[in-house]
């Protein structure tokens, strides 16, 4: 078992090649944002619990603004 730490871009790329997933889900990586596979920008590490808090906050904001225009 690996210890939790922030992974480098090279380690993230190797992890993606090994696991072949479109979504990045790595509980051992403490990075919240990781580089996208395709194109420019960043995406969430869905193995990080804070990523789910970010998603819930965005959904709550959308729902809140939809109900209280």
Q: Does the pLDDT value for residue 1 go beyond 70?
A: no
| CB contact at 8 A, 6 and 28 | no
Q: How is residue 18 written in tokens?
A: 């090994």
Rounded to whole angstroms, the Cα distance separating 6 from 47 reads: 12
Could you tell me what percent of the chain has a pLDDT over 90? 80
Range 2-18 average pLDDT: 90
Please give the model's pTM, rounded to 2 decimal places.
Answer: 0.80
pLDDT recorded at residue 21: 79
Count of CB atoms situated within 10 Å of the CB of 31: 21
């Amino acid at each position: 078992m690996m210890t939790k730490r922030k992974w480098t871009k090279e380690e993230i790329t190797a992890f993606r090649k090994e696991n072949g997933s479109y979504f990045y889900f790595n509980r051992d990586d403490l990075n919240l944002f990781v580089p996208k596979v395709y194109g420019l920008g960043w995406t969430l590490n869905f193995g990080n619990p804070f990523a789910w808090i970010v998603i819930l906050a965005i959904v709550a904001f959308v729902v809140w603004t939809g109900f209280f225009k």
